[in-house]
Amino acid sequence: MSKDAVFLIVDDEQEVCNFFSYLLKHKGYGVETANSGEEASARLKEHKFDTALVDLKLPDANGLDILKEIKSCQPDCEVIIITGYSTVKSAVEAIQLGAFDYVEKPFVDINEMEALLERSLNVKAETEKMSAAQQELGFVVGRSQKMLSLVAAAQKIAKKNITVLIQGETGTGKEVLARYIHSVSHRSDSPFLAFNCGAFTETLLESELFGHEKGSFTGATHKKKGIFEQANKATLFLDEIDSASPAIQIKLLRVLETGEFFRVGGEEMCKVDVRIIAATNANLAVKVAENNFREDLFYRLDVASLSIPPLRERPNDLENFINFFLEKESIAKQIEIKPFSKEALNTLKKHDWPGNIRELSNTVAQALLLSKGPQITVEDLPERIKKNSNDTKNSEEGTARNSEAAKQLFRSVPEIGAKLEELLGQYEATLFETINFRQGFDFEHFSKDLNCWRDEFLARIIESAVDDTYGNQVKAANLLGITPRALRYHLQKGRRNNGSD
């Protein structure tokens, strides 16, 4: 570590501040401490820091808010979140907001702690390592900020011995992400076993997962080890976890809690050390609310949750994926690489890709095989792609015939969209008629006012939805098309602005 490095320690426990002060000053580094959010803000105004260690829970502030403040005023300062096991979910959220990593109390391995602090001062080397691992696996991340934040979180989570839940639509690459997590984890030298829970009946699923004893059921002619025993000391990827029956869910819960289970028809307790990565394209929180999934199992799986965005939310990454799959297919089929024509590319960009990355990969492979000329043209694309492109074109022409108001804003409420657009126009007209820029206009303050109004207004919409579902936040989130976590975030943000908290 650079001898000029300066660290900020933010923790309401003075013992923690003393621990890090001794550790770092003994090595010749600068250290400032703060026991509250207010003190942390003051230190940030007084000093420039290389790394900050921030407790997630402070008496007067949330560690995530301090993280945002640090990234706003000192973006080059890396932030390490200090947390307990019960708040690991928030620590994962912190990484997606820009934190470098997180550490759990109590601090057991001092050497590991020192190595983490050193890595925080050498981010470039860390980034290069991450890129090398991605290239080796053929894991295309793209340039989407959502995916970059997601993969950064996955990289950090991989080093911890915790269960991971990956959620995302069909074809988004949940297993690819799971393999990446395994490849950069401490278990990378052990096997990665993938298992689809939706591919078996309940009876077969129990046997496949936990094994069976000879004679335990018709056809059980010998003792068989299940996938859990095979995955001992390794990583087990359980896809379509929502397909497991209630009886299987109870057994899965026990394995997650204790690492113990019985084979079907067995009396001998089996104990394993398995790192579980589960995946689903369903909303498990909604399934819990509907009593279709065990709540206790959900919370056991949801220690660290990663949600992969669908391809339609990553339009700028489309060409990267197309080029990757073109090269991959050309090498595999020993076919000369040929580009997509401009018209074909535009047609692909108009498709909404309900099958996500998997559909795109199959489309590129099919188009490459069907193409006879030096380029892949629109005619070489599957019929469903061309049909959807024509439907989109007709839809766009129809929309153009509508009013400007309906075309631009409030598509989510078409029945009153035009009226809202009209009222917004009146608001803008009044504002611009009133402003005298020559006398000065506090743009930053006005921008903050608008943001506060928006946050409070969104919170009121959410509160109304919660009222309509008799206080059930999970059901309200489902009605609004957002996650329960997003619902709580908007509520808290709105309440902070109007002083409710």
- For residue 339, give the CATH number of its domain: 1.10.8.60
Q: Is the dihedral of CA 360, 366, 370, 375 positive or negative?
A: positive
How many angstroms separate the CA atoms of 253 and 295, rounded?
Answer: 10
Q: What is the mean pLDDT of residues 5-23?
A: 94
Task: Based on the fold, state whether residues 302 and 348 are members of the same structural domain.
Answer: no
**In the β-sheet with 304-307, what is the strand arrangement from edge to edge?**
192-196, 235-239, 275-280, 164-167, 304-307
pLDDT score of 392 more than 60 = no
Residue 129 lies in a domain: no
Q: How far is CA 355 from CA 169, 173, 186, 352, in A?
A: 8, 11, 32, 9
* pLDDT at residue 403, as a whole number: 39
Task: Based on the fold, state whether residues 114 and 159 are members of the same structural domain.
Answer: no
Nearest in space to 79 (alpha carbons), one of 133, 27, 21, 40: 40
Q: What is the mean pLDDT of residues 254-271?
A: 92
End-to-end CA distance of the chain: 41
Single pTM value for the model:
0.69
pLDDT score of 474 more than 60 = yes
Average pLDDT in the chain: 86
User: Pick from 121, 145, 163: which residue ends a domain?
Assistant: 121
pLDDT digits (tens, 9 = 90+) for 289-304: 989 999 999 999 988 8
Say if residues 458 and 498 touch (Cβ distance below 8 Å): no
Task: Based on the fold, state whether residues 319 and 293 are members of the same structural domain.
Answer: no
User: Residue 407 — very low, low, confident or very high, per pLDDT cuts 50/70/90?
Assistant: very low
pLDDT digits (tens, 9 = 90+) for 458-467: 888 998 888 8
Per DSSP bridges, beta strands 101-104 and 269-271 are: unpaired
How many angstroms separate the CA atoms of 370 and 368, rounded?
Answer: 6
Task: Based on the fold, state whether residues 302 and 320 are members of the same structural domain.
Answer: no
How many angstroms separate the CA atoms of 136 and 183, rounded?
Answer: 10
Task: Based on the fold, state whether residues 323 and 251 are members of the same structural domain.
Answer: no
Residue 417 lies in a domain: no
Q: What is the mean pLDDT of residues 172-183?
A: 93
* pLDDT at residue 413, as a whole number: 72
Lowest mean pLDDT segment, chosen from 367-381, 389-403, 484-498: 389-403
Say if residues 382 and 389 touch (Cβ distance below 8 Å): no
Q: How far is CA 316 from CA 74, 336, 372, in A?
A: 29, 26, 28
Task: Based on the fold, state whether residues 469 and 489 are members of the same structural domain.
Answer: yes
Query: What is the DSSP secondary structure assignment for residue 438, as one 8-state letter?
Result: G
Q: How far is CA 227 from CA 190, 218, 447, in A?
A: 14, 20, 56
User: Pick from 286, 307, 328: which residue ends a domain?
Assistant: 307
Task: Based on the fold, state whether residues 165 and 204 are members of the same structural domain.
Answer: yes
Q: What is the mean pLDDT of residues 264-270?
A: 89
pLDDT score of 145 more than 60 = yes
* pLDDT at residue 84, as a whole number: 76
Task: Based on the fold, state whether residues 290 and 319 are members of the same structural domain.
Answer: no
User: Pick from 268, 284, 307: which residue ends a domain?
Assistant: 307
pLDDT digits (tens, 9 = 90+) for 71-127: 999 999 999 999 876 567 788 888 888 899 888 888 888 888 998 998 888 876 767
Which pairs count as long-range contacts for 285-294, CB under 8 Å and 24+ apart, including other chains?
A: 285/474, 285/477, 285/478, 285/483, 285/484, 286/474, 286/475, 286/478, 287/242, 288/474, 289/472, 289/474, 289/475, 289/478, 292/242, 293/242, 293/249, 294/246, 294/249, 294/250, 294/253
Residue 433 lies in a domain: no
Instruction: Find residue 195's DSSP bridge partners.
Output: 238
* pLDDT at residue 222, as a whole number: 86
Task: Based on the fold, state whether residues 373 and 336 are members of the same structural domain.
Answer: yes
* pLDDT at residue 133, as a whole number: 67
* Boundaries of domain holding 211: 155-307
Task: Based on the fold, state whether residues 302 and 165 are members of the same structural domain.
Answer: yes
Residue 53 lies in a domain: yes
Task: Based on the fold, state whether residues 297 and 322 are members of the same structural domain.
Answer: no
Task: Retrieve residue 373's tokens.
Answer: 């000329």
Q: Which residues contact 469 (CB under 8 A, 6 or more apart)?
A: 475, 476, 479
Task: Based on the fold, state whether residues 169 and 256 are members of the same structural domain.
Answer: yes
Number of structural domains (the chain) is 4
